[in-house]
């Protein structure tokens, strides 16, 4: 034991003399752990939020019975089914407004509620009577209570004047949900004896077949292992995970070169230890112990950093998820113990993998082995050929995936394969370029320049690969974000046709507002819209009703359209379909979509396809009058106004004063647009932040590789110095070499990045969101990125080069005296 401690002390003394190296090793491990864990923390947070939402009394995890037209149905069917042995429990769902804020109201029946409804909040036995017996209770999440600015026990009124039962916090509930007894819900929603769906519990015995109990009045919806929310947000989390993984690997590149360097430098030390009598096993064990200890320390620091990264990014992530998918994620980070353990584990595992080559070398080292420069000469050629073959194989996989893959995962697979292939191909690519340079070079120094660059390739290739990947991802993501941004803003301008938007709390208020507006001279037009929901092929689809107005014809953007599309909308037998929905239902122009409406099936000819960015639901746009004919229950609460710009503030103020509307219920176009763009920008804030991190980590990887090389390359440089090339000149040549390989890498990264962008836009976005964007290239941005890459390389190369420029001549002479 004592001996082991002495060996450890000797090994550690190395770091005392090489503080910079120690720092890079730690930075590599910390960066890898921090980014990976940060991303994991965010994903974990989001997933638990989805679970919470899904588990709210019959989310999609529970089998249920619904009416085919998604309308409510008589409670009598519940009794019929119970009496036929069906273990069903009724739920009535609706929306209510409290102080202008719209919330989901769920009426449940706790006595029959299946015990296995997800991890639904359990009503403790003691709570049941207070939940059911008058006045009852309204269960809410803590966040909802805070949003409503009400204390627990308060009984706020909803927009129709009815009072909710006293509020009570139920921590497991999803936000924006109010849970009351079904009887209370029927009263609040004015739906006596009506039910929205029946949750199915564990069957007791064999129930009578559904059809013979309720005919075709109800249909079975099988439980879905994955919620719609999870499906929708998958791409987002995959995106985050991909970045986390990329950063992790780039971090490991750093660890790999730092450990490689330390090993090279400690070879004489190890040899001496062995010569002093320390057994190979003991020395190796101590080496592993040292590495694991370092990984533990770095892992802990990395986790702390990961926590801060996650906490810093979470608000943006939450905003994006909310804006894009309507998913609510709590802004407060909560972490499970598994997260800490996994983080430490990945740090240690990563360190061991990154140090594997060095450790294996140390284990195989003969006692009297001498330190040797990295083997490269003959082996390099074979290695380049092998790696290029591997690259071709990976490219082939990418092509296959592109051709046959249908899923989002396949889309990411194409991306991953492309990048991996390009990374593998990079050394061969550089070798070809350098060889070409060598061919055209004149003069011994120039020839040496090219030849030596080639010789350096094997040492630098890992770092250059990291740089290539980071750059390509940067190019790809920025191109996609900018493309999206340009398309989105153009689309938004067309979409926001009206100048003022009003959302009345109920139909009565809607009528009152319209009547009041009619008499005002500053209102040029009143555009009444409406929204209903229907189930088409098992998914819930929004029906948007638009009035027939010239403004829409002029400005509302359509991707594809038939002649006189807007006119064909008016009679009520035609519709526009959102791009997402057209893909999901596989519907094209001229097809017919059947919508189950309360009065029967409503057949709609599809006469237009439009982009509907950021809407998680599929949408059909129809004429509003037709919508109200088919769905008489449609709330007529949405009103758009055309107003001269200078009049809108006055009008809004008057509306607010007259009808007590708050900022959420009435807004002008500029506010709505600013809000949409703000959400949009936040959506990609996370991507940009991770992008920058990755590039930074790649820069550090390059620096550590160059430091490693600088040390082992003295034997190559010393003869040049000896034949009269000055140190500053040598340093300048070294710098040029580094910059030129970095430049070639960056040049390869540009087309690769554009390919990545194309994959993101044409494959990943289409699969994830259902929309395809026009592809734009932004040349200025590309030039900027190449410049950034060169700058990063310059910074990374400066330190070793400055050292070389100021190196004591004695050190160079020593090269000839020493064995290396």
Decide whether 180 or 641 has the Cβ nearer to another protein: 180
Is residue 3 close enough to count as binding another protein by CB under 8 A? no
Among 109, 150, 264, 734, binds another protein (CB under 8 A): 109
Residue with structure tokens 């069906």? 86
Residues in 654-693 that interact with another protein by CB under 8 A: none
Q: Which of residues 292-311 bind another protein (CB under 8 A)?
A: none
Q: Which span (185-193, 323-331, 388-396, 550-558) binds another protein, by CB under 8 A? A: 185-193
Nearer to another protein, 205 or 337 (CB): 205
Q: Site for another protein (CB under 8 A): which residue of 5, 9, 20, 83?
A: 83
Q: Do the Cβ atoms of 754 and 472 come closer than 8 Å?
A: no
Residue 127 interacting with another protein (CB under 8 A): yes
Residue 297 CB, shortest distance to another protein, in Å, is: 49
Among 5, 79, 154, 692, contact with another protein (rule: CB under 8 A): 79
Tokens of 797: 């190369």
Residues 186-205 close enough to bind another protein by CB under 8 A: 186, 192-193, 202-205
- Select the residue interacting with another protein from 1, 16, 19, 125 (CB under 8 A): 125
Query: Site size for another protein, by CB under 8 A?
Result: 33
In angstroms, the CA 238 to CA 245 distance is 10
Q: Binding to another protein by residue 72, rule CB under 8 A? A: no
Q: Under a CB-based contact definition with an 8 Å cutoff, are residues 201 and 116 in contact?
A: yes
Give the interface segment with another protein, choosing from 10-18, 120-128, 638-646, 693-701 (CB under 8 A): 120-128
The strand pairing partners of 577, in sequence order, are 609, 620
Q: Phi/psi at 61 (nearest 5 deg)? A: -80, -10
Tell me the C-alpha distance between 344 and 37, whole Å. Answer: 9
Does 209 bind another protein (CB under 8 A)? Our answer is no
Residue 124 binding another protein, by CB under 8 A = yes
162 binds another protein (CB under 8 A): no
Binds another protein (CB under 8 A): choice among 183, 268, 315, 345 = 183
Q: Which of 71, 84, 359, 677 binds another protein (CB under 8 A)?
A: 84
Residues 6+ apart with CB under 8 A from 534: 69, 70, 540, 541, 543, 595, 596, 597, 631
Query: Do residues 220 and 63 make contact, with C-beta atoms less than 8 angstroms apart?
Result: yes
For residue 75, the minimal CB distance to another protein (Å) is 7
Q: How far is the CB of 187 from another protein (least distance, A)?
A: 9
* Candidates 182-190, 452-460, 704-712, 742-750; binding stretch for another protein (CB under 8 A): 182-190
Which letter does DSSP use for residue 647 in this model? Answer: G
Query: Which one, 16 or 206, has the nearer CB to another protein?
Result: 206
**CA gap 203, 63 in Å, rounded:** 11
Angle 777-783-785 from CA coordinates, rounded to 5°? 95
- Per the structure block, which two tokens stand in for 399? 């092509």
Residue 218 or 804: the one with the smaller Cβ distance to another protein is: 218
CA 639/CA 531 separation, integer angstroms = 11
Residue 112 sits in the site that holds another protein (CB under 8 A): yes
**Dihedral Cα 594, 595, 597, 602, nearest 10 deg:** -40
Q: Kindly tell me which residue out of 2, 206, 281, 442 binds another protein, with binding defined by CB under 8 A.
A: 206
48 alpha-carbon distance from chain centroid: 15
Residue 191 or 271 having the CB closest to another protein: 191
Chain mean position to CA 234: 8
Tell me how far apart the 2 most distant CA atoms of the chain are, in Å.
102
Stretch that binds another protein, among 124-132, 345-353, 360-368, 674-682 (CB under 8 A): 124-132
Least distance to another protein, CB of residue 221, Å: 22
Question: d(Cα 406, Cα 621) in Å, to the nearest integer?
Answer: 28
Residue that has been written with the tokens 């990887």 in this structure: 701
Task: Show the DSSP H helices in 660-778 as ranges.
Answer: 669-683, 685-712, 714-722, 727-759, 765-768
Check: CB of residue 72 under 8 Å from CB of residue 598. Answer: no
Q: Which residues bind another protein (CB under 8 A)?
A: 75, 78-79, 82-85, 87, 109, 111-112, 124-129, 132-134, 181-184, 186, 192-193, 202-207
């Amino acid at each position: 034991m004592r001996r082991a401690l002495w060996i450890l002390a000797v090994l550690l003394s190395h770091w005392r003399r090489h503080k910079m190296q120690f720092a890079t090793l730690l930075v590599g491990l910390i960066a890898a752990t921090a980014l990976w864990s940060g991303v994991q923390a965010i994903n974990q947070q989001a997933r638990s939020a989805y679970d919470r939402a899904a588990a709210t009394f019959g989310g999609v995890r529970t089998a249920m019975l619904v009416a085919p037209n998604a309308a409510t149905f008589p409670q009598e069917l519940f009794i019929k089914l119970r009496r036929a042995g069906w273990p069903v429990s009724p739920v009535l769902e609706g929306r209510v407004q409290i102080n202008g804020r719209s919330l989901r109201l769920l009426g449940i029946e706790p006595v029959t509620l299946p015990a296995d409804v997800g991890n639904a909040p359990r009503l403790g036995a003691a709570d049941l009577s207070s939940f059911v017996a008058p006045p009852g209770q309204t269960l809410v999440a803590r966040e909802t209570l805070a949003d409503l600015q009400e204390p627990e026990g308060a009984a706020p009124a909803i927009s129709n004047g009815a009072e909710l039962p006293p509020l009570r916090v139920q921590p497991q509930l999803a936000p924006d949900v109010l849970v009351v007894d079904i009887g209370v819900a029927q009263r609040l929603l004015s739906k006596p004896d009506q039910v929205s769906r029946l949750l199915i519990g564990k069957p007791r015995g064999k129930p009578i077949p559904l059809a013979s109990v309720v005919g075709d009045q109800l249909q079975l919806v099988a439980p879905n292992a994955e919620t719609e929310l999870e499906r929708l947000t998958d791409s987002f989390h995959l995106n985050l995970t991909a970045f986390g993984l990329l950063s992790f690997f780039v971090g490991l590149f750093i660890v790999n070169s730092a450990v490689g360097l330390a090993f090279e430098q400690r070879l004489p030390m190890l040899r001496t230890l062995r010569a002093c009598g320390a057994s190979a096993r003991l020395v190796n064990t101590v080496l592993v112990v040292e590495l694991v200890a370092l990984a533990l320390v770095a892992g802990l620091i990395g986790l702390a950093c990961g926590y801060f990264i996650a906490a810093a990014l979470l608000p943006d992530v939450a905003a994006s998820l909310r804006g894009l998918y309507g998913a609510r994620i709590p802004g407060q980070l909560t972490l499970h113990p598994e997260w800490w353990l996994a983080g430490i584990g990945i740090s240690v595992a990563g360190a061991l993998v990154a140090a594997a080559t060095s450790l294996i070398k140390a284990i195989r080292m003969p006692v009297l082995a001498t330190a040797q420069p990295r083997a490269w000469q003959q082996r390099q050629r074979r290695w380049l050929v092998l790696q290029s073959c591997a690259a071709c194989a990976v490219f082939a996989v990418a092509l296959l995936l592109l051709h046959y893959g249908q899923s989002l995962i396949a889309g990411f697979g194409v991306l991953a394969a492309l990048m991996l292939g390009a990374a593998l191909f990079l050394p061969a690519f550089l070798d070809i370029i350098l060889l070409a340079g060598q061919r055209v070079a004149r003069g011994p120094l120039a020839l040496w320049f090219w030849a030596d660059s080639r010789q350096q390739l094997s040492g630098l290739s890992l770092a250059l690969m990291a740089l290539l990947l980071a750059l390509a991802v940067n190019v790809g993501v920025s191109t996609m974000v900018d493309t999206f941004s340009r398309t989105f803003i153009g689309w938004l301008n067309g979409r926001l046709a009206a100048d003022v938007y009003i959302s009345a709390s109920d139909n009565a208020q809607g009528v009152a507002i319209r009547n009041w507006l009619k008499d005002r001279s500053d209102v040029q037009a009143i555009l009444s819209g409406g929204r209903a929901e229907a189930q088409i092929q098992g998914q819930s689809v929004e029906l948007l009703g638009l009035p027939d107005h010239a403004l829409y014809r002029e400005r509302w953007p359509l991707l594809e359209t038939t002649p006189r599309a807007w006119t064909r909308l008016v009679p009520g037998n035609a519709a526009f379909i959102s791009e997402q929905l057209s893909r999901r239902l596989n519907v094209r122009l001229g097809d017919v979509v059947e919508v189950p409406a309360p009065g029967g099936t409503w057949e709609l000819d599809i006469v237009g396809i439009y982009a509907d960015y950021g809407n998680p639901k599929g949408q059909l746009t129809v004429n509003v009058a037709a919508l109200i004919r088919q769905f008489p229950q449609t709330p007529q609460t949405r009103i758009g106004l055309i107003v001269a710009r200078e009049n809108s503030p006055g009008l809004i103020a008057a509306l607010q004063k007259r009808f007590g509307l708050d900022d959420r219920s009435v807004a002008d176009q500029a506010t709505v647009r600013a809000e949409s763009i703000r959400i949009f920008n936040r959506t990609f804030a996370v991507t940009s932040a991770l992008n920058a991190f990755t590039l930074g980590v790649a820069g550090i990887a390059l620096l550590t590789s160059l430091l490693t090389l600088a040390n082992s390359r003295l034997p190559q440089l010393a003869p040049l110095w000896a034949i009269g090339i000055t140190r500053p000149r040598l340093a300048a040549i070294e710098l040029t070499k580094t910059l030129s390989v970095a430049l070639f890498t960056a040049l390869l990264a540009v087309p690769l990045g554009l390919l990545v962008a194309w994959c993101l836009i044409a494959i990943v976005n289409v699969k994830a969101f259902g929309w395809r964007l026009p592809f734009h290239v932004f040349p200025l941005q590309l030039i900027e990125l190449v410049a950034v890459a060169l700058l990063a390389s310059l910074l990374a190369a400066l330190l070793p080069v400055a050292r070389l420029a100021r190196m004591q001549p004695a050190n160079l002479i020593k090269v000839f005296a020493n064995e290396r």
